[in-house]
Amino acid sequence: MPPCTNSKVEVVTKLDDPSKADKHEARKLSQLHEPERTRLWLDMCFKRDPESKLELLTLWDSYSAIFEAFDREAPHLDTAEWLAYIQHALPYAREGTTEGGVDYVGGIALREQVKPYRQIMAEREDRRRRRTERRLRVVEVSS
C-alpha cells in the first residue's frame, strides 16, 4: 500500500485510501460489534502523533466507507457516538477548529502500513497477560 502523505503543518483533508484496511482485514473487523470494531480500526490504521491533525469529516468518511458495506452484519456508530468514542478511546486525541472553520482531530496520524488484525490481537493479549501477572504479584506481596 502506498504511504499517505501527511503534512504536519496543514490539516489532512484527504486520505489516499478511505480506509487503508484491505477487504480481508475489513471483513474481520466487520464481524465485531461497536465500539470494539472502532477501537480495532483506530489501532490498525492510525498512530499517535502530537503534531498531526486529521480533518474530522475525512476521518468520519474513512470510517463510514469501510463499514457501511457491512452494516447489515453490525451497524456502525452514528457520528456523535463515534466522536465520543474516539475521545474516550484515544485520550490524547483532541478536537479543534482551524481559523478557516475546518474541524479536526489532532494527535493522531494515518499509519504508513496497516497494522494487521492478528498483530493487534496478539498485542492486546500480551497486555492483558502482563496486567494479570502484575495483579498476581501485588496479591502475593500483600499476603
Q: pLDDT digits over 89-110, tens only?
A: 888 888 899 888 989 999 998 8
| Cβ neighbours of residue 20 closer than 8 Å, sequence gap 6 or more | 1, 4, 44, 45, 62, 110, 111, 114
CB hemisphere CA count around 18 (13 angstroms): 12
Whole-prediction pTM value? Answer: 0.71
Q: What distance in Å separates the CA atoms of residue 117 and residue 131, rounded to the nearest whole number?
A: 21
Written as tens digits, the pLDDT of the chain (143 aa) is 323 333 333 444 444 554 455 667 777 777 788 888 888 888 888 899 999 998 888 888 888 877 776 666 666 788 888 888 888 888 888 889 988 898 999 999 888 888 888 898 899 899 999 999 988 887 777 76
Please give the domain boundaries of the chain with CATH numbers for all domains.
Answer: 23-114 (1.10.10.10)
**95: amino acid identity, one letter:** E
The DSSP output letter for 111 is -
**Three-class DSSP labels, 28-45:** HHHCCCCCHHHHHHHHHH
